[in-house]
Amino acid sequence: MSADVMDSADVRMLTEIGMIGAGAGGTLLREVEQLFRGLMVLRPQRDFPYLGLATAYLNQQRPDDAVLVLEQGLRVMHTGQDHDHADRSMVQVFHGMALLMARRTAEATQVLQALSQTTRHEPALRLARSLLGIKAPATDHPSSKENP
């Protein structure tokens, strides 16, 4: 199926609906799975279908299923020719978080440390460092100088 089947506004709307379903509890899990698996077909190189389905599984206390989905995403995104490094970084950090929730601490630490040393995607870097318990370095950003 071609990625041109749906425009980005439609894909965004479906993603938002899926995220609402992911947070709604187990009653919509089957539908959420179908929706995000469909988005994986339409946009395999993007992070949102993998993050959405992994979030649904994590909300259901199913971290091992989340790990599998995120690993699938990393494999697909790695083999793609036009993968977005920011998207891949977010899938990697969620992978580390899911591994932590699955009590696979050594693997999680390895994933998160590697990511924190290689990514330039600031949101993924901050989350990886936070999950590792590493304080963010002080910056000269104006907001960091406000009322100490």
Architecture category of domain 3-136 in CATH: Alpha Horseshoe (1.25)
Distance, in Å, from the CA atom of 14 to the CA atom of 38, rounded to the nearest integer, reads 10
Residue 4 in tokens: 């041109």
Q: What tens digit of pLDDT does each residue of 11-62 get?
A: 999 999 999 999 887 789 999 999 999 999 999 999 999 999 999 999 999 9
Residues counted in the chain: 148
Going by the DSSP 8-state scheme, the letter that residue 61 receives in this structure is T
Q: What tens digit of pLDDT does each residue of 89-143 get?
A: 999 999 999 999 999 999 999 999 999 998 889 999 999 999 999 866 655 444 4
pTM listed for this prediction: 0.83
Distance, in Å, from the CA atom of 124 to the CA atom of 122, rounded to the nearest integer, reads 6
